Amino acid sequence: MPEPDPILPIANWRACRSDEQLQRSFSDPDFDDSEWTPIAVPSHWQTNPEFADFDGTLLYRADLSAPMLPEGQRRWLRFNGLCYEGDVFLDGAYVGQTEGYFTHHRFEITDLVSTAGTYVLAVEVAAPGTGEHDTKRHLTGWFTDGPGLPQRWNPAGIWQDVRLVDTGPVAIRHFRALCTEADAAHAIVHLRAVLLAARPAEVDLTTTVAGITQTDRHTVAAGENRVEWQITVDDPDLWWPVGRGEQPLFDLDVTARINNTVTDQKHRRIGFRSTTMRDFIFRVNNQRTYLRGVNLTPLRRDMATMPIEDVHAEARSIRDAGFNAVRIKGHVTRHEFIDACDELGLLVWQDLPLVGSYVRSVTGTAEQQTRDMIDLLSHHPSILVWGGHNRPHTSEPRTTAAPDLRQQQIPSWNRTVLDRAIRRAFTRDDPSRPVVAHSDVAPHVPKLSGSDVGLYFGWFDGEAADIAEYAATLPRMVRFVSDMGAQALPESLPIDLDEALTTRGGEGDALRAVIPPTTYPDIASWTNAMRAHQADVLKTTIEALRVLKYQPNGGFFAGSWRSAGPGLTRCLIDHDGTERPALHTTRRALQPLLPVLYPSTSTLPARTTARLSLHLCNDLSDDVDVEIRATITDHRGVATKTWAGQVTSDAVEFIDDVAIRGGRIGAEMHVALEVLDAKTRAQLSTNDYTFTAS
């Protein structure tokens, strides 16, 4: 049974910029707010023209209509998302405070609204702006600093709904559901709840999932009571990633009763599966799973009012592009997106919203928000791994293709102390999932353990094809590549080009070095060149990593999916929905059965025969009988070579060397690859390469 809807809507929201005098009087129910600005809730306040450039503290007031509260019942006010800090008042009485933009906050207001009437809800919301490289205190991650967002963007405000909820004398204050074990024989769901009791009582907690019903009795004292229990499902239908099986989901309902009378209830949708990771090789239900993923930064600036159907459509588009995983990078997105991932079989790497360096005082806040995130999201079977802190050593942007190995040997408080505390919080509260404490951290003393890294060959320095030599030299550094690629501007250029080049995360200096604007006749030609370069870099990088599948690479996240604004980004889709050439190229590079020439190169020696290794990357879960055809066009003419045989499931097969004869300097050579079903002759996949003699 779903959680109850709000009893009545909280309406007529209005807002005003705070000052010292208003802060002392705005919560008074008789305060005259007739001149205040009407504002939508949920929303980010900068989407309101009156507050479009405002950072700081905004005061909200609203009318809260409440019916009579039955005797013995309790009434709660719940905020589902407030960015970033709030102080809540009801009819002049202080109710409580909030911190954290994605966390849910619930306050008891039984004594304040026990009789029917209309009350004044007043909220002081503080979200001061932060300079790009300031040492930070607020855990907002890419929600504040995401690529493509304007420099002045602040997502502040009551950006999720506010609800009024009634319960009985015992309320479920916090709730968590974890699938801790799952195989063909049984699945175990571990549950945890904090019961907030008005008086001592015997509480029956009835759990129902997948046709199993179990009741556990708990004796609770007045105040907070933490209870834990588990339920076992025999012969479960397992949840699988896309391409590996089905995605069965089950309603999980927990109902609290006192003397057979319902006092509160919780509802989740859950799937049964197990996840493990070793050396960044992931297993789902004990089967190796190679991650072909993409980073998700905020889907758009105004996440608050994005229609649910649009949120679900984004997840479907990611799956249909050939990805089987998504990293919700440095932020917590709308929960509807993860619901869609559950249904579609998209694996999720979920980050805590920590990006760059923070002051020491955030440790307790980070640990608390880690627990809050687990409570909020842990029931989702699609969540494969928890991510902690992105680039903890610095808030400065990257300027090199690979992390600086020497610089990261120096201990830092963020990486050494804060990130260890985050890891402990994750593993203590959710032992069912692997944890990556920090990202983009190179191996360092004393354990020489690193993390996933971003590799930007072909952008900051070198050629994209250099990743092959880098991987051979430092294989530990390509165990998991969590970002890659080049940046580009949108096809429909904004009026202010300089502003587009200086949006948050934009790497204008690198762009000008790699694609010099002075070599192109106009801006449109320059834009087309950078978009083509972005596509070429992604193709080369993804193909190289797929050849290194499991030896040592466990997967990758390619650039980012959609830009939140008209800026310079690594996204595959512009903010207005226009697909970039990089998305077309990536779709081809993600074909589950892909022929690849390795190592990749764009040039071959003139008048010399070069040999490139042909590999077939098979991400399918079955062996396949195929015929591979290579059509080679060089100065000698056109030649065709074929191979036939069976390729092993979930593996990479070396097929043969392909010989290509370079012509005179500047001449082009081509290789077209085709994979056919050996029995039906149906085309399964294609790939092609163009080389220039040098």
What pLDDT digit, counting tens, does each position of 527-583 carry? 999 999 999 999 999 999 999 999 999 999 999 999 988 889 999 999 999 999 999
Nearest Cα residue to 689 out of 585, 580, 562:
585
SS3 content of the chain, % helix, strand, coil (to 5): 20, 40, 40
Give the residues of the chain that fall short of pLDDT 70: 1-9, 130-135, 407, 409, 444-448, 494-495
Strand partners, 646: 625
Enter the DSSP assignment of 313. Answer: H
pLDDT at position 410? 73
The whole-angstrom separation of Cα 520 and Cα 522 is: 6
- How do strand 74-79 and strand 162-167 relate by DSSP bridges? antiparallel
Phi-psi group of 521: left, alpha or beta (phi > 0 → left; psi -120 to 50 → alpha; rest → beta)? alpha
What is the reported pTM?
0.95
Q: Would you state the pLDDT for residue 134?
A: 53
pLDDT reported for residue 1: 37
State the SS3 of 52-84: CCCCEEEEEEEEEEECCCCCCCEEEEEECCCEC
The conformation of residue 5, written as its DSSP 8-state character, comes to P
- Please give the domain boundaries of the chain with CATH numbers for all domains: 10-163 (2.60.120.260), 170-270 (2.60.40.10), 275-590 (3.20.20.80), 596-693 (2.60.40.10)
CB 489 within 8 A of CB 574: no
Nearest to 16 by CA among 41, 43, 38, 46: 38
- Decide the pairing of beta strands 85-90 and 93-99: antiparallel
Q: For the sheet containing 201-209, what is the strand order? A: 212-220, 201-209, 250-258, 261-270
Distance CA 528, CA 525 (A): 5
CB contact at 8 A, 190 and 178: yes
Contact 667, 608 (CB under 8 A): no
Report the C-alpha gap between 50 and 15 in whole angstroms: 10
